[in-house]
A and B are shown apart, each in its own frame.
Chain A
């Protein structure tokens, strides 16, 4: 996903022409098919999928471009493998939250658990509450990962 582009609902189609343009775009299908990749072996696209899947009901051209960008990335990195057994760190867990950057001010929490250096469980999810501070968001993320 392009780091310089902020996806918002304002980019959803509003005029008839824009709706017509997006009518035959398989955004929904594309997100669905990438979801399994994100769950199965690619924690690196989990956040990108989380972001584009927030615009499933009314995808705009910008969202679709972002989607295509993920496909480009996957095509280029198809040879990446999720590898287990590279180190002897036993179980490690990481959790974090972003600084309420989305337009609706819901923070996004994420976690990853690694066994011997290989990720076994990961997730990215928008928090249900609107946190009053980043500290609160972090606490919620810790709880989410637990």
Chain B
């Protein structure tokens, strides 16, 4: 078997992609999404070139070029269909037929940020470094590839921040793989329940300290009416800022240690645990993915209720996937199995 060969794209998909059909949104009331926006624009210029074309060789070169292009697009489509079809800028999203859905997503995001008190509008001092802001759009899909959610996120363009002026620490601990495996091994031996939760918009919870004064431009296209000249002074972290990861971790430590009464694990700072007599709760944190190992199922529900007082969570139920590793537990034999078969499968292709 030849592993280094290019994946051979099926031609039917390519032409579907190029002609802009075959990929539609599944929202019933929604018009057909103009997919393949990037692909056909290049192809569209092609006829004029052919008319000017001087000879056969030119045409051959062009065909080769188009075929390469087609293969590239097909590959891109296979790798990340969603990425290729998602709009990149606000101007682009406004031209699309599904703009109302995006608009709704943007308004939701702005509302979340407003409720969280992410910034206050002020006048920027003349010499302040003003960080840009940008919208990022994403279509969330289910396993079958149907669009389930339109998502818009406001991000700060943290690349203009200066170390020691705008930000200090940028690191955040995550649980070590060996630590995760040890907890799983312990869970198998002690017959613990394994559950998983995801923290929604984790970085938006981080709070900036008094010495980090960050000014950000108002969200593009959504300036406060009449206050166009003002800028946002950030109170909380946003996605894209250099220090967001650090502040989120600090916030998490504060929640876990002071509010929920957990203790830090001595060897791994991203592991928290709590003991109540025979019962024990262990929480492994990987940025916003929390894996919970507990002795009884009632404690899980209790923990989820307690943590959701402080942050928004998505309950993912029992643990099946962790960092691309598939996890299967066998209640009868009290064993836990780990496998990366789908990762192996994806790299074998």
Q: How far is the CA of A30 from the CA of B189 in the complex (A)?
A: 35
Question: At the interface, yes or no: A20 with Cβ under 8 Å from chain B?
Answer: no
Task: Identify which of residues 173-187 in chain B touch chain A, using a CB-to-CB cut-off of 8 Å.
Answer: 177-178, 181-182, 184-187
Q: How far is the CB of B221 from chain A (nearest CB, A)?
A: 40
Question: At the interface, yes or no: A72 with Cβ under 8 Å from chain B?
Answer: yes
- Among candidates B1, B324, B335, residue contacting A85 with C-beta atoms closer than 8 Å: B335
Whether A121 touches B186, Cβ cut-off 8 Å, given contacts A41-B339, A41-B340, is: no
Task: Identify which of residues 23-48 in chain A touch chain B, using a CB-to-CB cut-off of 8 Å.
Answer: 24-26, 30, 33-34, 36-37, 39-42
Q: How far is the CB of A116 from chain B (nearest CB, A)?
A: 5
B325 and A118 within 8 A (CB): no
Whether A120 touches B339, Cβ cut-off 8 Å, given contacts A33-B347, A81-B328, is: no
Task: Identify which of residues 65-118 in chain A touch chain B, using a CB-to-CB cut-off of 8 Å.
Answer: 68, 71-72, 74-75, 78-86, 88, 115-116, 118
A40 and B324 within 8 A (CB): yes
Q: How far is the CB of A146 from chain B (nearest CB, A)?
A: 14
B341 and A79 within 8 A (CB): yes
B181 and A121 within 8 A (CB): yes
Chain A residues, Cβ within 8 Å of B178:
120-121
Q: Please, what's the 1-or-0 string for B84-125, where 1 marks a CB less than 8 Å from any CB in chain A?
A: 000000000000000000000000000000000000000000
Q: How far is the CA of A74 from the CA of B341 in the complex (A)?
A: 9
Q: How far is the CA of A82 from the CA of B336 in the complex (A)?
A: 8
Chain B residues, Cβ within 8 Å of A83:
335-338
Q: How far is the CA of A36 from the CA of B177 in the complex (A)?
A: 11
B3 and A71 within 8 A (CB): yes
Q: How far is the CA of A36 from the CA of B328 in the complex (A)?
A: 19
Q: How far is the CA of A78 from the CA of B186 in the complex (A)?
A: 25
Q: Please, what's the 1-or-0 string for B9-31, where 1 marks a CB less than 8 Å from any CB in chain A?
A: 00000000000000000000000
Question: At the interface, yes or no: B65 with Cβ under 8 Å from chain A?
Answer: no
B185 and A85 within 8 A (CB): yes
What is the chain B residue whose CB lies nearest that of A64? B4
Q: Please, what's the 1-or-0 string for B157-192, where 1 marks a CB less than 8 Å from any CB in chain A?
A: 000000000000000000001100110111111000
A116 and B341 within 8 A (CB): no
Chain A contributes a number of interface residues (CB within 8 A of B) equal to: 33
User: How many A-B residue pairs lie within 8 Å, measured between CB atoms?
Assistant: 94
Question: At the interface, yes or no: B348 with Cβ under 8 Å from chain A?
Answer: yes
Q: How far is the CB of B67 from chain A (nearest CB, A)?
A: 19
Chain A residues, Cβ within 8 Å of B348:
71, 74-75
Whether A82 touches B339, Cβ cut-off 8 Å, given contacts A37-B344, A71-B348, A116-B188, is: yes
- Among candidates A74, A86, A120, residue contacting B181 with C-beta atoms closer than 8 Å: A120
Q: How far is the CA of A120 from the CA of B184 in the complex (A)?
A: 9
What is the chain B residue whose CB lies nearest that of A80? B339
A84 and B324 within 8 A (CB): no
B339 and A84 within 8 A (CB): no
Q: How far is the CA of A14 from the CA of B4 in the complex (A)?
A: 22
Q: How far is the CA of A28 from the CA of B1 in the complex (A)?
A: 19
B336 and A40 within 8 A (CB): no
Chain A residues, Cβ within 8 Å of B344:
37, 74-75, 78
Q: Please, what's the 1-or-0 string for B285-322, where 1 marks a CB less than 8 Å from any CB in chain A?
A: 00000000000000000000000000000000000000
B338 and A68 within 8 A (CB): no
A88 and B189 within 8 A (CB): yes
B4 and A25 within 8 A (CB): yes
Given pairs A75-B344, A85-B334, A119-B181, 20 additional interface contacts (CB within 8 A): A25-B4, A36-B343, A41-B338, A71-B3, A71-B348, A78-B344, A79-B341, A81-B328, A82-B338, A85-B336, A115-B186, A116-B185, A116-B189, A118-B181, A118-B184, A118-B185, A118-B336, A120-B181, A120-B182, A120-B184
- Nearest first, the 6 A-B pairs at minimum CB distance are A85-B188, A81-B337, A115-B185, A84-B188, A121-B178, A120-B181
25 A-B residue pairs with CB within 8 Å = A30-B3, A33-B347, A36-B340, A36-B343, A37-B340, A37-B344, A40-B324, A41-B340, A68-B3, A72-B1, A78-B344, A83-B336, A84-B181, A84-B184, A84-B189, A85-B185, A85-B335, A86-B333, A88-B189, A115-B185, A116-B185, A118-B181, A118-B184, A118-B336, A120-B184
